[in-house]
Amino acid sequence: MNLIILSVLILVAIAFISAVILYAATQKFKVIENPKVELVEAVLPGVNCGGCGYAGCKSFAEACVKSEMLEGLYCPPGGKETMSEISDLLGIEFDEMHDTLAVVRCNGSCANRQHTNTYDGAKVCSIAAMTYGGETACSYGCFGYGDCVTVCNFDAIYINEETMLPEVDESKCTSCGVCVKACPKQIIEIRKKEPYNIFVSCMNKDKGGVAKKACNVACIGCGKCVKTCPYEAITMSDDLAYIDDKKCELCGDCIPVCPTKAIKDSKFNIQNSKLADVPISIES
């Protein structure tokens, strides 16, 4: 009987000592969270899309609280309004950024890009891209299978049944960038939204003749837009023109000189009188 009591006492002592050790360890290594983190997180949309560059809204909130000027911090779904709330909440200024939007840089519709073969595999862009160039002669264009549609949490992108190309609903797009990551052809880009945007709607890096044969509206690398731009906003690389939206002043000079009409505007309200007089052909 004494042996049983002794065993129980020993177990109780071990349990007590273990509890003391665990409590001490908890106190030593516990992380005290700044209460402002919870307040900032409550202001955020809570979609955890990763568009801000952080793992989720909580991680972004922690970064905001630790920051002294909110430099480089921006919540795409929340936009300027949310960042202003965070700024007021923390009592610090933030660098006001332009609103942005996802832009599809491919105009290879069924009418512009003729099919040369038929794909019988899984209608998933990421799978097709592993072994397949596409159903047309352009291996750089959109598959049209809708990976970008599947991953969008805001129902902001859809496949146009006539053109079989993805289109972005500007009223719903939060520029979170999830569709950009989902596209294996890298044809979706986050660009400045206001007041509108001018961009090269092509990703074909083939030589001009090959590109034009594959798609009627492909960039052929002629360089006319580069020579025309007075702001040096257009560069040429791998026979493909690219317009830097940070340098572009929206003069519109490049649009009429493009022989294949590969340069498009993002279909926002055009207030620039010079651009308003320029006939712009846009394939939906």
The CATH code of the domain that includes 49 is 1.10.15
Are residue 155 and residue 246 in the same domain, yes or no?
yes
Per the structure, the count of domains in the chain is 2
Are residue 198 and residue 240 in the same domain, yes or no?
yes
**Which structural domain, as residue segments, surrounds residue 70?**
35-90
Highest mean pLDDT (candidates 12-21, 50-59, 225-234)? 225-234
Are residue 123 and residue 235 in the same domain, yes or no?
yes
Beta strand pairing status for 157-159 and 240-243?
A: unpaired
User: Is 192 within a domain?
Assistant: yes
Q: What is the pLDDT of residues 164-194, one digit of tens each?
A: 999 999 888 988 889 999 999 999 999 988 7
Sign of CA dihedral 104, 176, 78, 95: negative
CATH value at residue 259? 3.30.70.20
Are residue 120 and residue 213 in the same domain, yes or no?
yes
pLDDT of residue 277: 44
Are residue 40 and residue 114 in the same domain, yes or no?
no
Q: What is the pLDDT of residues 191-248, one digit of tens each?
A: 988 778 899 999 999 999 999 999 999 999 999 999 999 999 999 999 999 999 999 9
Average pLDDT over residues 112-123: 90
Are residue 77 and residue 107 in the same domain, yes or no?
no
256: left (phi over 0), alpha (psi -120 to 50) or beta: alpha
Give the residue among 73, 139, 70 at the shortest CA–CA distance from 108: 139
pLDDT of residue 26: 76
pTM more than 0.85 = no
